[in-house]
């Protein structure tokens, strides 16, 4: 079965259109999402490391806030970590301060007991009958 030249031309056109439509489908279904993901990941990486200035949305007019760079974020974290470390140092120092307060309380208690004993001795001496000592 021989096809005429015009029929062969139409078959070639149909095969070409089928090839182009398959290529377009592959681009839309496979390549475009892959490329979009790459672009979004690159943009997210750039936003993380470099930061992004504040910008105004052209359609709604809303101001999007600026994103700080990674260095600025790490600087803020370093300050927060330093504050936590300082608070831990103060907490660690509490043990020695509590020990000093306990020692002072014990000293006051023993001093009070000694004062009471001295006061009782003076009271007993005041109530006692005077005696004469001769040398």
Classify residue 79 by burial, with Cβ atoms within 10 Å: 0-12, 13-18, 19+.
exposed
Would residue 63 be called left, alpha or beta, if left means φ above 0 and alpha means ψ between -120 and 50 degrees? Answer: beta
pLDDT digits (tens, 9 = 90+) for 35-56: 889 998 998 888 888 888 888 8
Q: Where are the alpha helices (DSSP H) in the chain?
A: 5-26, 32-49, 70-127
pLDDT digits (tens, 9 = 90+) for 78-132: 999 998 888 877 777 777 788 888 888 878 777 777 787 888 888 888 887 767 6
User: Cα–Cα distance between 101 and 108 in angstroms, integer?
Assistant: 10
User: Cα–Cα distance between 22 and 28 in angstroms, integer?
Assistant: 10
């Amino acid at each position: 079965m021989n096809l005429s030249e015009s029929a062969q031309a139409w078959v070639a056109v149909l095969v070409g259109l089928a090839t182009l439509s398959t290529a377009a489908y592959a681009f839309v279904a496979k390549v475009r999402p892959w490329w979009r993901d790459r672009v979004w990941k690159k943009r997210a990486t750039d936003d993380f490391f470099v930061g992004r200035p504040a910008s105004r949305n052209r359609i709604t007019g809303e101001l999007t806030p600026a994103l700080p760079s990674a260095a600025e974020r790490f600087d803020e974290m370093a300050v927060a970590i330093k504050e936590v470390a300082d608070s831990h140092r103060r907490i660690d120092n509490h043990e020695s301060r509590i020990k000093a307060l306990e020692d002072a309380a014990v000293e006051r208690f023993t001093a009070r007991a000694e004062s009471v004993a001295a006061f009782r001795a003076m009271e007993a001496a005041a109530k006692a009958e005077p005696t004469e000592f001769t040398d």
